[in-house]
A = this chain, B = another copy of it.
Amino acid sequence: MLIVMKASATPEMVVQICREIERMGLNAHPIQGTRTTTIEVTGNGFPVDPDGILSQPGVKEIIHITQPYKLVSREFSSSNTVVKINDVSIGAPEIVVMAGPCSVESREQCMTIAKLVAKSGAKVFRGGAFKPRTSPYSFQGLGEEGLKILAEVRERFGLIIVTEAMDTETMDMVAEYTDIIQIGSRNMQNFSLLRKAGRKKNPVLLKRGMSATLEEFLMAAEYIMAEGNHNIILCERGVRTFANHTRNTLDLSLVPAVKQISHLPIIVDPSHGTGVRDEILPMSRAAVAAGADGLLVEVHHDPVSALSDGGQSILPDMFEQMMQEVRAIAGVLGRSCA
């Protein structure tokens, strides 16, 4: 059960409600949002008398939610969440394409790619400054130098920036330079990182863990929302299976499943989701046809020399073709794509 407080409710009113809940042998978890406070009630005590609570000062409404996810659920918000950054809206009818290299490798590399993807219609530029790598001896990203390059891309091309924050230590720095903070698959259940992201003002792009169920994925988003940050973009990026014709198995069925039980926008990453260049275009079309709100795609002008993930990056002219195809599919669904 969630007790939603009025925007005008004072801290004292919240404390008062919590006390009352606890007197009934239940637990009250106040969730401080940016504008309102919500009190999550858990436990097995006396049944709560809704009328009694509703009559208290500061209480706006009571929401009964039976699923484990509360704030991320459709029951909490019947209208779709639209994440807005400048003039870009994710979760709106327009499909938003995020493109760029796997890693920020150099100023020149980023400017070259950014120019090309912006021309083709990408609205968001992606690129890793901090890279989670299986081996400690692999290239780990340029760090702050990479973040500065990303900031320059924003300046020059007017692109929104998304980049990964790998740990709580560097998240403050990442948050300063980037627009959207990405939480990677390996960190989907790094709860301290989720909590910290929940206290940031930046929207968060949360990638599904490699073997996360739908419920675990939504509960990870719940961690972020419970801290007050409601601007979350979910991202399907393939899961681990026995199948070996792709690096991961892209689970597009997650898109309609999320749409049904959550109000959050969801995008698809066909690059990590398949790991195979020739799969990117067909799976991008399929993702949009399935109802995805956007795409996250690796583009590199010189994949052979890429420091990471070259084999799954598409070339700029493939990206241009992808945009055309995605635009056409979007149109059929009554959506658009720049």
Chain B residues with Cβ below 8 Å from A70 are 137
Chain B residue nearest in CB terms to A68: B135
Min distance, Cβ A178 to any Cβ of chain B, angstroms = 18
Contact A274 B288 (CB under 8 A): no
- Closest partner residue, chain B, to A195 (CB atom): B136
Q: Does A187 contact B (CB under 8 A)?
A: yes
A226 to B190, Cβ gap below 8 A? no
Chain B residues, Cβ within 8 Å of A210: 209-211
A224 CA to B136 CA, complexed, in Å = 9
Cα distance, A277 to B282, chains bound together (Å):
24
- Number of copies of this chain that the complex holds: 4
Are B250 and A239 in contact, CB atoms less than 8 angstroms apart?
A: no
> Which of A44-52, A95-103, A213-221, A315-323 interfaces with chain B?
A213-221
Task: Give the total of A residues in contact with B, Cβ under 8 Å.
Answer: 71
Chain B residues, CB < 8 A from A254? 243, 245
A56 at the interface (CB under 8 A from B): no
A171 to B10, CA, bound (A): 36
Known A42-B137, A136-B226, A255-B282; judge A242-B241 contact (CB<8 A).
Answer: yes
- Please determine whether A279 and B251 come into contact, CB atoms closer than 8 angstroms: no
Find out whether the CB atom of B191 lies under 8 angstroms from the CB atom of A132: yes
Inter-subunit contact B245/A214 (CB<8 Å):
yes
CB-CB contacts below 8 Å: A243-278 with B: 243-246, 249-257, 260, 273-274, 276, 278
Query: Are the CB atoms of B290 and A283 closer together than 8 Å?
Result: yes
Expressed in whole angstroms, the Cα–Cα distance for A42 and B140 within the complex equals: 14
A291 at the interface (CB under 8 A from B): yes
| Chain B nearest Cβ from A4, distance in angstroms | 16
Say yes or no for A223: interface residue by CB 8 A criterion.
yes
Is A94 among interface residues, defined by CB-CB distance under 8 A? Answer: no
A223 to B136, CA, bound (A): 5
Give the interface centre of A68, A216, A282 by most chain B CB atoms within 10 Å.
A282
- How far is it, in angstroms, between the C-alpha of A215 and the C-alpha of B260 when the chains are bound? 30
On whether the beta carbons of B187 and A245 are closer than 8 Å, the reply is: no
Q: Within 8 Å of chain B (Cβ to Cβ): is A329?
A: yes
Q: Return chain B residues, CB-CB under 8 Å to A133.
A: 191
* A-B contact sample (18 more), CB < 8 A, given A186-B190, A239-B242: A68-B135, A166-B191, A167-B191, A167-B192, A169-B192, A186-B191, A190-B190, A210-B211, A213-B244, A240-B242, A241-B249, A243-B251, A249-B249, A250-B252, A253-B276, A256-B282, A282-B289, A328-B332
A-B contact pairs, 14 of them (CB 8 A): A132-B191, A133-B191, A134-B219, A166-B191, A168-B168, A168-B169, A169-B192, A211-B211, A242-B242, A245-B257, A249-B251, A250-B252, A252-B252, A283-B290
Interface residues of A, Cβ cutoff 8 Å to B: 29, 40, 42, 68, 70, 132-137, 166-169, 186-187, 189-193, 209-211, 213-216, 219, 222-223, 226, 239-246, 249-257, 260, 273-274, 276, 278-279, 282-283, 285-291, 325, 328-329, 331-333
